[in-house]
Structure 1
Amino acid sequence: MSDVAVCAVRVVCLHDFVDADSCPGLALSVRQMTGSMFWKFDLHTSSHLEALLEKEDVTLTELMEEEDVLQECKAQNRRLLLFLSQDHCMQELLHLITTEPPAGVDEMKRFKYPNIACELLTCDVGVINDKLGNEETMLETLYSFLEQPSPLNPLLASFFSKTIGNLITRKTEQVISFLRGKEGFLSLVLKHIDTSAMMDLLLRLISCVEPAPLRQETLNWLNEEKLAQRLIELIHPERDEERQSNASQTLCDIIRLSRDQANQLQEISEPDPLLAALESQECVGQLLQNMFSGERTESCIVNGIQVLLTLLEIRRPVVDGVMDAQGFERSYAVNSSILLAIQPQLIHFHQLLLEPPKRSPMLTTLGVLEEPLGNTRLHVARLVASLLYTSSASHAVVAQELCRLNTMDLLLDLFFKYTWNNFLHLQVELCVALSEPQTPEPTVTPENSAHNTLVTHLFQHCQLVQRILGAWEENDKIQLEGGMRRGYMGHLTRIANTVVHNMEKGPVHTQISRLIAELPEECRGCWETFVDQTLSETNRKNTIDLVHIEGPFPKELTLQQAFSDYQIQQMTANFVDQFGFNDEDIGKIYTRLILFLLKCSIWCMQANTAVFEACSKEKIQPFDDDEEDIWEEKEINYATQTKSRNR
């Protein structure tokens, strides 16, 4: 039934409900409305779809040509559902979404019927769900799609995944029982994992099965089929990049879904077997072995690190307003077996910073970058930052190994070498900040002295203070000669502030103060002058707020009036080295664009305020005691009200 028809039926029901004796005006209005609606839309005339259903030889294709067939199906048109639920119609619908359409047809029309068929099968109508889920012949026809050779048509795969996913949600027991009876089901899904729709199917099986006992049975079945281990096998240099990427993304989603469900469903007594398998030292070790076996490709290493980063997540931001019981971000404990598996392989990650997979030179507006940083080294930096974040008293061995390998010193070298790569600068800044904790720790013992070891290493071996002073002096010299401010200066400012903060009030302030006091006298004096004068002045400039403009908008507004020096640097530096925008003309255009957007924003706020005040003065009038009392009882003239309403 169309929206117009539904609306008309509701009005007719209202007409029957209204009492003409108690509400004569309302009854008259409803009678006029219903009469005009039936006259206007001629609802007594049957639709073209109904006329088609009257035909004895009507075909499914004819019905699918009708624009309102899907709407009528969702509205549970009885005659339409009786027609669609016939065996031959259901089989034809399934055939459309599982069989490649003939070639040579216009691409816009080629998948028209498969798309409509998928929408009809997934419109969540009980008759169709029952027909699909309760009859094994229907499920066999749907399952046959997986048995086709690779590669699958991505669009048909999405239709298949959506249809079977709907059945997993609506006819759970029947579909799970059917799939468990298929010996090679998981092998077929993983065979086609290069098609992203197969990822969705696996995640449906993990997250959409209810009730809890059946969900646990399903997870146990998937674990018995070695789902986690088989996905890890796909992250291998010998596999194609698409397969590696989808396997990695599936593993990340499984980890997050399993942890979220464990937090939300407190009644579950049994642990998630898939999560337990992925967090085991054996699985993490196998992943690392795959990443470093044979030729080291960027795809394999990056996809493997993505999984490790997900395993090392101990806090996740609020998503869609969902928080934990205390109203904070969700937090998770990192299994120590993960760090035990990673620690022996840290030397390989360190070596990747020295010798990453080869990349071609990249042309930027500053010239040719002979050796780009690359995604591999950026991800290794992210992994080191994550390891330092999760490192605790019981995981001091990881921090000690990083110090032994001198990884922090190497990251600082890359920080200053890649002047314009702010993505790398952020990760190195995090590493330095995490090496100097800003939250109190338990009493220091040999077992929990990881941060003390890192702090000593950072100041003595990496010479952090000397690097800060030297880079700042070099940047000042370049700018005095008319050159550009270095792209890392904003992050270097924050690193310097981190050192100062932790020296004054951090949990390791005594240690940092001692390490700075041990610096050569000249260096110590330069640092104290730098902190008291240069850094203090820089911080003052960086805390300038957005100007508040009163009255008419000024003709000229400088960028320095609106943004701090640090904010300007942050907005512009990311374009260089990554996208090649850095010459003087582009800089001017970018600056003008920021100013233009700023002016538009302030002008709009001022204009909206003026319009609101004008409307308020016009519409809101003070009460006049001499005016007629609107609450006084009086005779009601229904004809006048009806006329006014029609107008």
Structure 2
Amino acid sequence: MFWKFDLHTTSHIDTLLEKEDVTLTEVMDEDDVLQECKAQNHKLVDFLLRPQCMEDLVTFITQEPSTDVEEKVKYKYPNISCELLTSDVSQINDRLGEDEKLLMKLYGFLQNEPPLNPLLASFFSKVLSILIGRKPEQIVDFLRKQEDFVDLMIKHIGTSAIMDLLLRMLTCIEPQQLRQDVLNWLNEEKVIQRLVDMVQSSQDEDRHSNASQSLCEIIRLSRDQMFQVQGCSEPDPLLATLEKQETVEQLLSNIFDKEKNESAIVSVIQILLTLFETRRPAFEGHMECAPGMSHPSFSVNHSILEAVRPRLKDFHQLLLEPPKKNVMKTTWGVLDPPVGNTRLNVVRLVASLLQSNTQSINTELINLNTLGVILDMYFKYIWNNFLHIQVEICTAMILAMPPAPTDIQPDTEQEHARESILIKHLFQKCQFIQRIIDAWSSNEKEQAEGGRRRGYMGHLTRIANSIVHNCDKGPNGPQIQQLISSKDLSAEDREKWEAFISGQLADTNKRNTVDLAFSDYQMQQMTSNFIEQFGFNDEEFADQDDVVDIPFDRISDINFSLNTNESANIALFEARCNEKIQQFEDAGSDEEDIWDQKDVTFAPEAQRRPSSGSTDSEESTDSEEEDVKRDPFEASNPSTDDRMEVDTGLSKTSIHHSKHRTMPSDCDGWLGPSEASSSSTSPKDCGTPKAEEETACSEQRSITETVINGSMKETVSLTVDAKTETAVFKSDEEKIASSEKCSVVECVDSERTGVNSSAAACCPKTGSDTSRTQTRMHTADLSKK
């Protein structure tokens, strides 16, 4: 709207640009320079495209500002220059991407000595990334001509913006063939090997972290690309280089054959964990292999495992002798030494190796007793939940995984071929059951003496439950049962275990079970609180048919066969509903009441006749007397009740009522239109007092219909109690005569007798419709009074 009607004020930039000696800094000082540039102000864009202006813009983002400039405005012009160059204006992109002189000036930023200014590096990376996305062919061709480009990128890899630029080259280059050419070029420049060399103790922590993150992202991006690009025949050369055994061996050599450095160790472990990840699709739901790919691509490359296996002893030694850490004082005591990031990541690596379920890896871990050391750490560091969750993952995988496949099974071991050597080691060598029982008992003893519950008890509960579950239903259930009942576990320990799982563990599980179901009372309270907070009930805005269906649960699967005039009564019903709705919508308005000055015609009771097509109207006067509750939509004046009754004259169809269908609480007669509204013949029984007649009509309502139940027909009376919102069906044999009855009758045609003024005083108002000739009304049978 703002731009459509040209309501914006004229920019001062247009006036400024009319000056002959205007400078770039003067234009950049304008507050709306960026908005005008993005809106492609022709004068401004033409000014910026001047050779000197473009050169100055590039200079601002590649050279350090003067040191004598105030700090708060020191990077003002570099920032604005970056925003102008990356405003995605095609003319600026074309000029910058096609002018080699400007590109060389921009590229010169990489030739500065490290460390680079991080803010200027972010400006440089952003501008070059935009150019890579908009002008990929020109930029790639330019960069490939620079022989030192990869060297400079690796040299400045400690700057995060340069790392981001490297990853941008792997993800934002289109088309696919050009991207493949870039990957081959970077692989030929040995970018993977150079990044691997950055992860060693001689480099600083920033280089460790960024080089590791770059390698991890290359692995993930390359694997995702294999799923995204269907039918790609060429493998990713960078991923293939990373998965080579010699590359992994070089990584491990950097941290073990040289001085131990925690930052380098953690960075290498992060790379290994990424290599151990199963290859997942880039988007959810796509689990099929791409053409040309085999299912083994979803598993860990065997060459990686073969490179790691000889180094397991070095990782095991890290658990025993981690890099020196200072004593840590905590609120729960002194940690000497603390767990440390190194040991925590080694445990994560062990968990990932166990997931590969490789026989040679499992055997080496058993020979080293790595699992025993990890369990010792679990029970020693009682407050380190990062450690506890990793140990829980290890034990859960051991218990649930099938035995690792082996290439050769000697005949003498066929009966034990399906046994897991890890489970056997865990229960026998590591004394898994005994340690759980002892730790649980020790914790309860401390709590009984006023101590706190140990931090690993939640994980210990889940570990114990995992044993019980896998013992009963897991693939290794028979082996676990045999180990628990074998002689390796003493009778005393077996008794303790049985008592533990049936007593303490069962009680803990019961306490941990939370019933999230809400009671009816809670639901009512929440609904009430919602209405009080927002001030309305959602039923007020719902479709009225839906509202009626809500509480009707007592009458289900009842078929009604209604024989009546379909078209006339449906139209009459809809007209009456529209009038009622309009009455509510117009409440409180100053417009004339549509009900005023309307003549009402009643038919005498003696002249009542059934509706055409109805077979049960004679029975419609029978009903059961019940108390009635006023409808919330009734008029406030009790002497002018204007209530609506559901027309029974529907088509001859089966109507299936849902549960607790709410019947309208108003039971007054529905008076149809009459052509002879001016006639005034007095009907019988119209002398009944108005109050008594209203009471009789409002207390109960009755509709008599024929119910088809299988092959039998039965005439029943439907009586609705508005107070309890219930509907009662009675057959002819069950109907009880009541002292007051509310009848639904059909009034005579327009040429028949009308109503006198006294009768009109006790009946509700009606509208006029010349297309209908029948009128319905309620009369009170007060003969027994």
- TM-score in same-fold range (> 0.5): yes
Query: Partner residue of 2:366?
Result: 403
Q: How many residues align?
A: 539
1:467 aligns with 2:464: no
Structure 1 partner of 2:324: 358
- Taking the aligned partners of 1:375 and 1:356, their CA distance within structure 2 comes to 9
2:468 to 469, 480, 500: 500
**Matching of residues 277-296 of structure 1 within 5 Å:** 277-296=241-260
Counterpart of 1:561 in structure 2 is none
Letter in 1 for 2:5: A
Which residue of 1 is the match for residue 695 of structure 2?
none
> Which residue number corresponds to residue 494 of structure 2?
524
**Structure 1: runs of 5+ lacking an equivalent:** 10-37, 554-601, 631-647
Separation (CA, whole Å) in 1 of partners of 2:408 and 2:397? 19
Q: 1:512 aligns with which of 452, 473, 480?
A: 480
Deviations 1:456-480 (A, max 9, x none): 1111111101111111111111111
- Structure showing the higher helix proportion among its residues: 1
Mapped to 2, the partners of 1:345 and 1:215 lie a distance apart of 36
Instruction: Give the Å deviation of 1:607.
Output: 4.2
Could you say if the C-alpha distance between residues 184 and 459 of structure 1 is closer, same or farther in structure 2, counting changes exceeding 3 Å? same
CA shift for structure 1 position 208:
0.9
**1:200-215 superposed matches below 5 A:** 200-215=164-179
3-state SS, counterpart of residue 204 of structure 1: helix
Moved over 6 A (4+): 439-445, 447-451, 549-553, 602-606, 617-623
Counterpart selection for 1:172 from 131, 136, 146: 136
Q: Does 1:306 align with 2:270?
A: yes
Aligned equivalent of 2:190? 226
1:185 matched to which residue of 2?
Answer: 149
Q: 2:455 aligns with which of 483, 487, 493?
A: 487
**Partner residue of 2:286?**
324
Contact 1:194–1:246 (CA under 8 A) maintained in structure 2: yes
Report the Cα distance in structure 1 between the residues aligned to 2:522 and 2:237, rounded to whole angstroms: 66
Q: 1:407 to 1:325 in 2, by over 3 A?
A: closer
Cα 1:239–1:604 change in 2 (3 A) is: farther
Bigger Cα Rg: 2
Please give the alpha-carbon distance, in whole angstroms, between the structure 2 residues aligned to 1:614 and 1:355. 67
Q: Which residue pairs with 1:376 in the alignment?
A: 342
Contact 1:435/1:451, CA 8 A, preserved across alignment: no
CA deviation profile, 1:438-467 (whole Å, cap 9, x unmatched): 579889974996971111111111110111
Kindly report which structure 2 residues correspond to 1:154-165, keeping only aligned pairs within 5 A, or say none: 154-165=118-129
**What amino acid is the match of 2:505?**
L
Cα deviation 1:98-119 (Å, max 9, x = unaligned): 0001113232211111111101
C-alpha distance in structure 1 between counterparts of 2:150 and 2:144, whole Å: 9
- Aligned amino acid, residue 219 of structure 2: I
Over aligned residue pairs, what C-alpha RMSD do you find?
2.8
Counterparts of residues 557-636 of structure 1 (less than 5 Å): 607-608=529-530, 610-612=532-534, 614=536, 616=538, 625-626=579-580
TM-score, normalised with respect to structure 1? 0.79
1:139 counterpart = 2:96: no
Cα deviation, 1:321-345, whole Å, max 9, x if unaligned, reads 7442469xxx933111110100000
TM-aligned CA distance change 1:57 to 1:182, over 3 Å: same
Q: 1:551 to 1:390 in 2, by over 3 A?
A: same
Q: Does 1:421 align with 2:357?
A: no
Identify the match of residue 512 of structure 2 among 515, 526, 542: 542
> 5+ unaligned residues in a row in structure 2: which ranges?
290-296, 411-415, 545-576, 585-785
Question: Which amino acid counterpart does residue 218 of structure 2 have in structure 1?
Answer: I
Is 1:455–2:423 an aligned residue pair? yes
Please give the per-residue CA displacement for 1:89-139, whole angstroms capped at 9, x wherever unaligned: 111000000000111323221111111110111111110111111111111
State how far apart, in whole Å, the 2-side matches of 1:381 and 1:470 are.
23
Give the residue type in structure 1 aligned to 2:579: D
Evaluate the alpha carbon distance shift between residue 604 and residue 171 of structure 1 in structure 2; reply closer, same or farther with a 3 A threshold.
farther
State whether residues 419 and 487 of structure 1, in contact with CA within 8 Å, keep that contact through their aligned partners in structure 2: yes
Counterparts of 1:269 and 1:450, CA distance in 2: 39
1:339 lines up with 2:305 in the alignment? yes
Q: Displacement, 1:608?
A: 3.9
Aligned-pair CA distance for 1:47: 2.0
TM (normalized to structure 2)?
0.65
What corresponds to 2:69 in structure 1?
Answer: 105
Residue-by-residue CA offset, 1:518-564 (whole Å, 9 max, x unaligned): 122111121111112221111111112458588799xxxxxxxxxxx
Contact 1:314 1:390 in 2 (8 A): no
The alpha-carbon deviation at position 615 of structure 1 amounts to 5.6
User: Match for residue 553 of structure 2?
Assistant: none
391, 407, 432: which is aligned to 2:395? Answer: 432
Which residue is 2:181 aligned to?
A: 217
Give the drift of 1:431: 0.7
Letter paired with 1:405: L
Partner in structure 1 of residue 716 of structure 2: none
Q: State which of 4, 18, 24 in structure 2 corresponds to 1:7.
A: 4
Partners of 1:627 and 1:502 lie apart in 2 by: 65
Paired with 2:109 and 2:527, the residues of 1 have a C-alpha distance of: 56
Contact kept? 2:403, 2:418, Cα under 8 Å: no
Q: Residue 250 in 1 paired to residue 214 in 2?
A: yes
Other structure's SS at 1:8 match: coil
Secondary structure of 2:459's aligned partner = helix
- 1:150 offset after TM fit, Å? 1.2
Contact 1:168–1:176 (8 Å) recurs in 2 = yes
Tell me what 1:562 maps to.
Answer: none
Contact 1:438 1:502 in 2 (8 A): no
Q: Compute the displacement of 1:70 (Å).
A: 1.2
1:13 equivalent in structure 2: none
2:181 maps to amino acid: E
Q: 2: distance between equivalents of 1:456 and 1:390?
A: 18
- From the superposition, tell whether residues 175 and 450 of structure 1 become closer, same or farther in structure 2 (CA, over 3 Å): farther
Residues 22-72 of structure 1, C-alpha deviations (whole Å, 9 max, x = no match): xxxxxxxxxxxxxxxx5xx5x5xx320111121111111111111221111
What fraction of aligned residue pairs are identical, expressed as a percent?
A: 53
